[in-house]
Structure 1
């Protein structure tokens, strides 16, 4: 039978109900279901319901709580008869949960049983961290130098990289920060430490190369303070990066240190002089990177960031639960896993504080939620600004429903650690890394935290990628996996189709991650060389 919209609609109606108390279910059929469709064990549809959207299983009087995942995701603004399409215009969103009287480290779950014997082939760094790729990174102190650096990178790729076959590539750490900003504002600590820590990502082999303009506010010695220059963070404590780039007169690095090329240096006469200087410094780092070799390391050396973008109603049904199962496997193997996206977990804060390993971790979660609440309030919005038109078209009525499906990426392990934006991870186990939900900013901050592998789930579809780490894309629906067959790495839609279990897909993702980390496999984003620009989170004023 041809795969047409009409034939899909003619298939047996299939709905997914997440919790026994739910009074709505989502339509799983490709193309949705037409009016008159008799739901198994339920009502007859009164109208067409698109795929991923909710249908009322019982009559819902005005004011009634609409339950999905066993929690109220909204309240009916009018009577909703059984069999009706339940969408965001029929729901009043619940108020945000207060941050007082939360359960603090009350779950008391036993640690997950160890998972031993799994390894990958990685690059061991001088500081003990492990990279999954061997890349030359060029840090830029300011956007002004981006064009010159990009031109130099083209020449490095064409002229130098062929001479250094053990180097996987060169990455220009372009961003929009560095000048025209309130560099001494309290929240300026966030973008500064973010860029500093990205430069130390495990995939860059401990090599630090910097291109500076010369007159910018973010000077190299401030980005990498050699004398411990303090930068005030939002909690009022000084934060100085551990990495120093001591320079000799003229901008040349001291032995063993990173290298800085300053474009305004008087030694540069003309554009090509600047470019040639970048190439000379790049070759110093390429020689050292080229001497590195992969070695067998335990799976505990993985540092994985998990994220979702272009989410739909299937995100919390297929891809995110499979990632959550894989998260538990990684934690059992001794690895580090970060989940993030503050506005997308805010409505589940009680779940998170209860799962905290200690009361101190629970309080740190509250601190991050409170800071972000205040940040949004200063901007005149609240968490409801998160959901996109694509989220709603994919069946997510509001941020409460989206949050319930987002949190499951974190699995079931105790939350052992909390990071503020731009901080560097130094703990094993499950970490909440506080970030905005923006795909680009979240990925940038997880890079700064030290991830060496990224997992990204999507239901609507996105070509998102990062140049610094492999990004594994997980599709929530088989239709997306079919249409974007050369962009999606894992199809979690097989869970909704009944072809695989959450555990099946979770194990498949875990094994694929080990292959990607070892360089035995490349993700589709790597094959096509798709990557997004770094976007630094800067809540401080722009001047």
Structure 2
């Protein structure tokens, strides 16, 4: 990275790697034609903030290099000082999965980080939550309206009696019936819903509301329950004992009240940072994501791993084009093969829908300076830090290994968040350059802005400003430590992220790659 100054009028640009032949413009509003950069390069046209400028003449067909990697090929000759737009970069072929090195450059274990704790909720199964929430699972979308109705009543009438309970969440979704329940890919939504109910933030108190005629029966949703336990934990609206809607509502409220009593008796206790399970995600990414926020998150991820905790990164399509940088970091060849397995599965999934990875990025990503999914992926994976990859999870699987874990999910913010919750995530860190009010009701979401412009404009939506790295006001290490301490405070309930302050929570979006009938 070039030496930078916070002076507002000085032209600022960032070149990330010695091999790069492009840099991105830092200045708010971009830089006009005729501006001279530190490298002595004069801009031949206006270049918007976050967008790339050619540092050398690039011939037609020549490689465009950022992060020290080829992000594409010039569709025509690009003179030094020109603005390199998305239309001028041809998407390269993805890494060939069968030729990837496995566990050939496993990083040594990071030095242990001891003495860091948070105030969490210990669960009967040994997991630790960051919240004490009543979760009401549903076996089919048909009951969602009823559950929403009951949740409102619980919040108004019951929760005031249970001050130690943080809230109540209806785990509504679009699955459960009208689906090919025995299709091989149906394993994804089914295990997702099974594991969602066991997220540590729900304290092990199981309450399931079903309809009674759905394909995903409540008993299948909770296969571990005995017949007696099922009678105590499952309620179906078609049960003949209910005469009218109010009887159904009263039945759910009675079951909820019993569980609220149990949850209310719980208290936060001091837990080592090794009990953290933190999910990482990008959303509304821009060209600064891989420069400021994501590297700072990667530094904080290393701190969590050093403390013995669990960090999961995800988003297959935003890993696929940088997977060649990850398989060498796999702790074992088996882990490396699992990573390839998830990449190949998703390649086939996209092909079955007659599309490919070029459907990513979004228009906003491109407006923020990202030319294609290769550039986006290279900036995305730096969230993973430098630790060995200890495990790979298929979509909806629960994490059982500590350390750095790849949890395979789509790149969709809503689906990724839902799938990470199923994998056991109890707090999420979400980086954004374009801005989003995204949040989750079941787990706190700490949002990190990639740019100071965004952090200042959305001052009551962004929890941390990593844009200071681009202007030289802070180092990656400083922001990484700041984020780590913020994670401990939020996990302890000492601080609320803005999404929780305002109650901005997105609906769950279970990944269903199986046919709908």
TM-score range, shorter chain: over 0.9
Q: How does 1:95-114 map to 2 (within 5 A)?
A: 95-114=93-112
- Aligned match of 1:282 in 231, 237, 256? 256
Q: Distance in 2 between matches of 1:121 and 1:54?
A: 44
List aligned pairs for 1:183-222, cutoff 5 A: 183-222=181-220
Instruction: Give a deviation string over 1:206-258, Cα, whole Å, max 9, x none.
Output: 00101101111110111112xxxxxxxxxxxxxxxxx325347xx731xxxxx
Distance 1:9 1:296 in 2: 44
Tell me if structure 2 keeps the 8 A contact 1:9–1:31. Answer: no
SS in 1 for 2:227: coil
Of 425, 438, 441, 1:451 maps to: 425
- SS of alignment partner, residue 402 of structure 1: helix
- Residue 374 (structure 2) pairs with residue 400 (structure 1): yes
Query: 261-270 or 182-191, which moves further after superposition?
Result: 261-270
Q: Secondary structure at the match of 2:97?
A: coil
1:441 partnered with 2:422: no
- Asked if 2 retains the 8 angstrom alpha-carbon contact of 1:190 and 1:538, the reply is yes
Alignment of 1:68-467 (within 5 A): 68-225=66-223, 243-244=224-225, 246-247=227-228, 252-253=231-232, 259-467=233-441
1:228 alignment partner in structure 2: none
- What TM-score does the superposition give when structure 2 sets the normalisation length? 0.98
Corresponding residue pairs, total: 512
Question: Does the 8 Å contact 2:393/2:399 carry over to 1?
Answer: yes
Does residue 515 (structure 1) correspond to residue 513 (structure 2)? The answer is: no
What is the CA–CA distance in structure 2 between the aligned matches of 1:261 and 1:289, rounded to whole Å? Answer: 20
Q: What is residue 455 of structure 2 aligned with on the other side?
A: 481
- TM-score, normalised to structure 1, is 0.93
Q: Deviations over 1:272-326 (max 9, x none)?
A: 1111111111001000000001110100000000000000000000000000000
Q: Which runs of 5+ in 2 are unaligned?
A: 1-5
Q: Which structure 2 residues correspond to residues 61-72 of structure 1 after superposition, within 5 A?
A: 61-72=59-70
Instruction: Specify the alignment match of 1:27 in structure 2.
Output: 25
Matched, 1:498 2:472: yes
**Take 1:41 and 1:346, find their aligned partners in 2: how far apart are those partners?**
33
**CA displacement at 1:34 relative to structure 2:** 0.8
Q: CA RMSD in A?
A: 1.2
Moved runs in structure 1, 4+ residues, more than 6 A? Answer: none
How far apart are the structure 2 equivalents of 1:246 and 1:137?
Answer: 21
Task: Give the Å deviation of 1:9.
Answer: 12
Q: Give 1:267 deviation, angstroms.
A: 1.2
Query: Corresponding residue for 1:256?
Result: none
What's 2:3 paired with?
none
1:43 aligns with 2:22: no
Cα displacement string for residues 39-98 of structure 1 (whole angstroms, at most 9, x for unaligned residues) = 112311111110000001111110110100011101111111111100111111101111
**CA contact 2:107–2:386 (8 Å) conserved in 1:** no
The alpha carbon displacement at 1:474 in A equals 0.3
State the shift of 1:405 in Å: 0.1
1:108 is displaced (CA, Å) by 3.1
Distance in 2 (CA, whole Å) between partners of 1:533 and 1:392 is 26
User: 1:432 & 1:321 partners in 2: Cα distance?
Assistant: 17
How far apart, CA to CA, are the structure 1 residues paired with 2:48 and 2:27? 8
